Amino acid sequence: MYQFVPFAVILVVLIFIAVRCIRIVQQARAYVIEFLGAYKTTWNVGIHFKLPFVERIAKVVSLKEQVADFPPQPVITKDNVTMQIDTVVYFQITDPRLYTYGIEQPMLAIENLSATTLRNIIGDLELDQCLTSRDIINSKMRSILDEATDPWGIKVNRVELKNILPPKEIQNAMEKQMKAERERRESILRAEGEKRAAILEAEGEKESAILRADAKKQQQILEAEGQAEAILKVQTATAEGIRRINEVAPSDAVIKLKAMEAFASAANGQATKIIIPSEIQSVAGLAAGLLESVKEEK
C-alpha cells in the first residue's frame, strides 16, 4: 500500500508535466522555441509538444499588423522653422526569430529611427513644402524604415504624419494669408458673377430688340399684303363692272348721264366750283328741255 502511493504521485506529476508541455498555437501567432538556451524552431498554428526542462518558449510573437503612435517630435525645416510632428507607423512582424534575437527593444528602436529619419527629411524641405508634401514625406519614411527594419524581421507597411504643428505666430500668419486668399477669391467670383449678369442682361435686351423689330417687320408685311389684296379686289371689281357695261353696250346718252351723276356726287362735298365738260353740258341741256316739255303737257 505504501509503495502504491508514491507511484500514483509520480504518475500524476508526469501527467501534469506532459499536459503543461502541450501547446496550441493560435491563428496569427508564432512561438519561438529554445533548446538549452539556443534557438531551435518557430511554432506556427497548430498543436505542439515541447520537451520538458530542456525546451522553453522564448517569445510569443503576434503576426498581426500593428500600429505604433509616437509622440510629437521637434524638427527644424530648411528655412529654420521649428515645429512639432507626430507620426504613426503601421508594421508587421514577418520573421519571429529575427524579431526575437535581432534587437533588444524593437519598438524603442523604431521610434528613434522614425524620429531621426523624419528630422533628416524635414531638414531638406521648407515650411510650405512640408505642409503640401505629406505624401512624399510618408513615402520616403516608409522606404527608409522598411529597409532599416529588415534585419529585425519587421515589415513597415505605411507611415503617416498625424499632425504638423508649426509655431503659433506661423499659424496666425498662415490663417491671415488664408483669409486674404479667400477674400480675393470671393471678390473674383463676385466680379465674374456681375460680369455674367451684365452680359446676360445685354443679350436679353438684344434678343428683345430683334424680336420687336421682327414683329414690326411682319406687321408691316401683313399690312402691305392686306392693302395690296384690297387694291387688287377693287381693281378686279372695277374691271368686272367695265366688262359688264361693255357687254350691255350702253348708248352715249347713258354714259353721259352716268358721268353727270359722278360729277353730282363730286359736287356733294365742300367744292365751290366744278368745271363740267361740254358733252355733259349738252346732255344737261337736253335733260332740262325734256323736263320743260313734260311740265307744259301737264
Residues 46 and 94 in one domain: no
Residues 71 and 140 in one domain: yes
Rounded to 5 degrees, φ, ψ at 258 are -60, -40
Any domain includes 103:
yes
Q: Is the pLDDT of residue 254 over 50?
A: yes
Any domain includes 178:
no
Q: What pLDDT is stored for residue 90 in this prediction?
A: 94
- Stronger pLDDT, 249 or 26, i.e. the higher one: 26
H helices present in the chain, as ranges: 4-20, 96-101, 106-122, 127-132, 134-149, 168-248, 252-267, 278-297
Q: What pLDDT is stored for residue 290 in this prediction?
A: 46
Max CA pair span of the chain = 197
% of the chain with per-residue pLDDT over 90: 15
Any domain includes 179:
no
Any domain includes 196:
yes
Of 83, 90, 97, the C-alpha closest to 156 is: 90
Any domain includes 80:
yes
The Cα–Cα gap between 30 and 294 comes to: 155
Rounded to 5 degrees, φ, ψ at 61 are -115, 135
Of 17, 13, 88, the C-alpha closest to 54 is: 17
Number of domains forming the structure of the chain: 4
The single residue listed with the C-alpha cell 523604431 is: 110
User: What CATH code is carried by the domain that includes residue 155?
Assistant: 3.30.479.30
Residues 58 and 79 in one domain: no
Mean pLDDT on 184-210: 86
Grouping H, G, I as helix, E, B as strand and the rest as coil, residue 277 is coil
Q: Binning pLDDT at 50, 70 and 90, where does residue 231 land?
A: confident
Domain limits at 17?
A: 4-62
Residues 54 and 114 in one domain: no
The Cα–Cα gap between 291 and 296 comes to: 9
Residues 161 and 119 in one domain: yes
Q: Is the pLDDT of residue 156 over 90?
A: yes
Q: What pLDDT is stored for residue 145 in this prediction?
A: 92
Residues 162 and 70 in one domain: yes
Do 103 and 148 meet the contact criterion of CB atoms below 8 Å apart? no
Residues 52 and 140 in one domain: no
Residues 218 and 257 in one domain: no
Residues 57 and 128 in one domain: no
Any domain includes 197:
yes
Q: What pLDDT is stored for residue 248 in this prediction?
A: 65
Q: Binning pLDDT at 50, 70 and 90, where does residue 219 land?
A: confident
% of the chain with per-residue pLDDT over 70: 80
- How much is the mean pLDDT over the chain? 80
Amino acid in position 191: A
Rounded to 5 degrees, φ, ψ at 75 are -135, 155
179: its cell numbers: 483669409
From 46, 62, 78, the end of a domain falls on: 62
Grouping H, G, I as helix, E, B as strand and the rest as coil, residue 53 is coil
Q: What pLDDT is stored for residue 262 in this prediction?
A: 60
Q: What pLDDT is stored for residue 155 in this prediction?
A: 93
Q: What pLDDT is stored for residue 277 in this prediction?
A: 56
User: Tell me: the pLDDT tens digits for 68-82?
Assistant: 988 888 888 888 888
Any domain includes 239:
yes
Any domain includes 57:
yes
Strand order in the sheet with 29-35: 38-43, 29-35, 55-62
Residues 26 and 80 in one domain: no
Mean pLDDT on 173-197: 83
From 16, 40, 62, the end of a domain falls on: 62
Do 94 and 132 meet the contact criterion of CB atoms below 8 Å apart? no
Residues 78 and 57 in one domain: no
Q: What pLDDT is stored for residue 294 in this prediction?
A: 45
Number of Cβ atoms within 10 Å of the Cβ of 246? 9
Residues 237 and 213 in one domain: yes
42: its cell numbers: 518557430
